[in-house]
Copies of this chain bind each other. A is one copy, B any other.
Amino acid sequence: MIALNIGIIGATGYGGTELYRILSNHPEVSSCTLYTSSDEHKKYSSVYPHLTEVCPLDLHPIKTEQMKDEHDVIFLAAPSGVSASLTPGLLSEDIKIIDLSGDLRLKDPDQYEKWYQKTAAPGELLQNAVYGLSEVNRACIEQAHIIANPGCYPTATLLALTPIVKHQLVRSSSIIIDAKSGVSGAGRKPSIGTSFTEMQQNLKIYKVHRHQHIPEIEQELKDMDPNIGPISFTTHLIPMTRGIMATIYVELAENQSQEQLMDLYNQFYQNMPFVRVRKDGSFPGTKDVYGSNYCDIGLKLDPRTGRLTIVSVIDNLMKGAAGQAVQNFNLLFGFDETLGLKHLLPVYP
């Protein structure tokens, strides 16, 4: 056992507390320290009473110099903008960084500043950060020092599209992604729009044509197939806590049968423990992955229109954030990819 010493920045957010849920039982983690800029010196269980008697830890203020010496890995689960400013101060030979925010994902700082309306991280840092879509970038992740953990929508979308995009099977500008998310994706900060009373019995569309995950998805798709054109991408808020579904419509660049497509997906993901391709004719619901690190995918060619419909679901806090971060942590250190994650079966019902 290696017994790693872990730091979590942004422990009071939902991504942070989900990291704690996983890492506190991870066999290779010997200690965990929690950092925050909002409830310093409080007991963590006073902020999250579900951890009463489970977690004895206090919350610490963020002091990057000190953290650099104390930890083997830092997970950054802070809002966008914070990672860009903190990460440079954390860099060191002896530390690995897994950033859950959007700050290190876009290689082009101009794109970041355009879509996030914030100052980008230093260009060198952006170049060194490896995009942590575990199933797709495995080789790079294993060699990386800094991981840009993918966004929740991009994870669901890219896992659904990678097999056909990598095989250049998609017609250039035909990708339409209708994405739907549970409300926990909006974070813990309260607002009228995400209050129980306004969200229950409600279904909303938001950030139409301007969601910051658009350039992230396009960057990764183009990396697989430079011919991929701009995507249509919309995001909806669903009256549920956890879960993302991406319903994707594409036109194929060459004729494929449903059987060929099923084979392609099944082969592509056959050794990937966290991607489950549903059998032909079957589609997943978000509750099938609740609380787990799975991404479930279903697909069906429409003979009437020639379009392919692909559906993928994840738990936005797990495979869409903390779960994939731990999966990447496992890859970074050469552990079994499923360590600390496999026993977290979907909680159903």
Interface residues, chain A, with chain B CB atoms under 8 Å away: 14, 17, 21, 24-25, 48-54, 173, 176, 178, 180, 182-184, 186, 188, 190-192, 194-206, 208-209, 229-232, 234, 236, 238-243, 245, 247, 249, 276, 278, 282-291, 296, 298, 300, 302, 304-305, 307, 309, 311, 313, 342-343, 345-349
Contact = CB atoms under 8 A, between A and B. Distances in A.
B245 A198 contact: no
Copies in the complex: 4
B178 A188 contact: no
B183 A196 contact: yes
A298 B25 CA distance: 27
Contacts of A194: 190, 195-197
B203 A195 contact: no
Given A201-B242, A232-B302, 10 more contacts: A24-B345, A25-B342, A52-B278, A178-B247, A188-B192, A188-B197, A200-B241, A201-B243, A203-B287, A205-B283
22 contacts: A21-B348, A52-B276, A52-B296, A176-B176, A180-B180, A183-B196, A183-B200, A188-B195, A190-B195, A200-B200, A202-B240, A202-B285, A202-B287, A203-B238, A203-B287, A205-B245, A205-B283, A208-B283, A209-B304, A232-B249, A343-B343, A347-B347
A243 B203 contact: yes
A197 B349 contact: yes
A180 B236 contact: yes
Nearest to A317: B349
A91 to B, nearest CB: 32
Contact of A49 (B201, B288, B309, B343): B288
A114 to B, nearest CB: 12
Nearest to A269: B53
